[in-house]
Structure 1
Amino acid sequence: MAIGLDNSAAGTFSGAGPFTLSFQCSGSQRLLVAVLAGMRTAESNWSWDSAAFNGAALTQQAVNAQFGNNRNVRVAVWTLVNPAAGAAYQLAASANVNLSARLMLMCLTGVDQVTPVGATGTHAAQTNAFSANLTTGIADAWVVGGAGIRNGTLAWSPGTGVTELNDQGTGSDASNDITAFFGYRVGGAAGSYGFAATASGTNHGVLAAVEIRPAATGGSNIPVLFSYFRQLSR
């Protein structure tokens, strides 16, 4: 079954949280992906505390941070299998982000409900070009992720094969705001796929990405059904 994009959204926040964003999922074999990009002063060991959708906790799949010039940029990718659907629910994320943060969400359909996430990758540096190479273990997987860079006046350009969903700064301050990027890459045959984004200027930043695995096709159940009906005919 092919993976599909059902919905996406994003919001800007600051402070201790929780940061809440109303979001709705629909479709079958769903996966909620949240990318949290934030920046705070001084502390090199701060972390995203938690993320939950309609009370169900998300799992952190990939995270990294870049510290420099008294600023720490941190980006994490979180997922939730089979999120609540049919109405708008609240995504709540908590962390002591005393400067700025972007929360970016997408709901995917047609995703493996047992092992939805495969390879992961991150890149943290003081640069303008961020990338991670992920080797997918199955055909037709997607690579999903995001990035954040210090300076709210910068802009992102997606790398080869990457579809950009969101590119926005938390403000226009070059020191206390970040610009965040959110997107996905559709894979073909199993193999190596780069997830990359280039900023319009150099600064401290982070990129994080994960492999999302498609659900098995209905054909995989045929042997089970054949055995069942064979038993009934005896």
Structure 2
Amino acid sequence: MTDAFTYIGSELDIFASATNWKQYFSQQLQPYIRGDILEVGAGIGTTTRILCTGKNRSWTCLEPDVQLVNRLIDSLYTTTLPIEPSVVNSTVSQLLPDQQFDTILYIDVLEHIENDANELITAASHLRQDGMLLVLSPAHQMLYTPFDRAIGHFRRYNKASLKAISPPGLKLKRCFYLDSVGLLASLGNRLLLQSSMPTPKQIWFWDRLMIPLSRWLDLLLGYRIGKSIVAVWQQCSALEF
């Protein structure tokens, strides 16, 4: 068990209803998710239920907040999943050296970690050969708002800032944006991010109306703009660099 840690955010429940968004990013990430999975910062399990499809050997949910761990256990064990996830109250830095994974996920988590570069270096040490490290985070520091601050975001990312924290020994295979319509709306009037917490109505509007449009526009724009960013690294041999 980790030392006492309390997550200050309160957005997990309200964003749990964003099913279109979760299905969308799941579709984008699934090609890289394989083998034994470590999901860092699993929260209350909404992402686990979307991404855990049964095509993997194992799924480990890592969560440092003990209160969230209790909710996570209740949530996952009352839901029928193709693989029964294990839940660990810990952080990546507390894993044993021999705990190795084929895929490590940071889904809306890395922005909450102050020393993000060291976090990824530690995570990379738990990747097997050819293993994948996936990060999905909010994009563009110019969109940083009271909402980000209220839920403990240290930053938002772009391609350059994610590339700058690439862990040694890992190759950045892809880096792309999602949710172009959400970005345009935020630039125009901060529809979702103008206050310290979006309302359920705003989340519904974004998820039900904007995300379906983003699926089409993102593809048309080649995933070059968006309100969220995805980075995919792979553990490579020295000969590949």
TM-score greater than 0.5 by the shorter chain: no
Higher relative contact order (Cα pairs below 8 Å, separated by 6+ residues): 1
Q: Which has the higher strand share?
A: 1
Q: Which has the higher helix share?
A: 2
Structure with greater Cα Rg: 1
